[in-house]
Amino acid sequence: MNLFSDVGRKVEKTKQALTDGKQAEYVCVSCEELVDEDYEYCPHCGEETVEPVT
């Protein structure tokens, strides 16, 4: 069940970001926060795991 919960949270965050007028194109793999630019490091947790949203 954790896998489905994690996926559901990620989808919901992406949906909220897109419907709020934001165009989040990237997500941090570590903290799963959405970012709107291709940062070298996540602005939320500092990890080097920012990837494009698919």
Q: What is the count of structural domains for the chain?
A: 1
What band does 34 get if pLDDT is binned at 50, 70 and 90?
A: confident
pTM above 0.75, yes or no: no
Sheet of strand 26-28, all strands in order from the earlier edge strand to the far edge: 34-35, 26-28, 50-52
Mean pLDDT of 5-15: 74
* pLDDT mean across residues, the chain: 78
Please name the residue ranges forming H helices in the chain: 2-19
How far, in Å, are 31, 35, 48 from residue 41 at the CA level?
12, 10, 4
Range of the domain at 33: 2-52
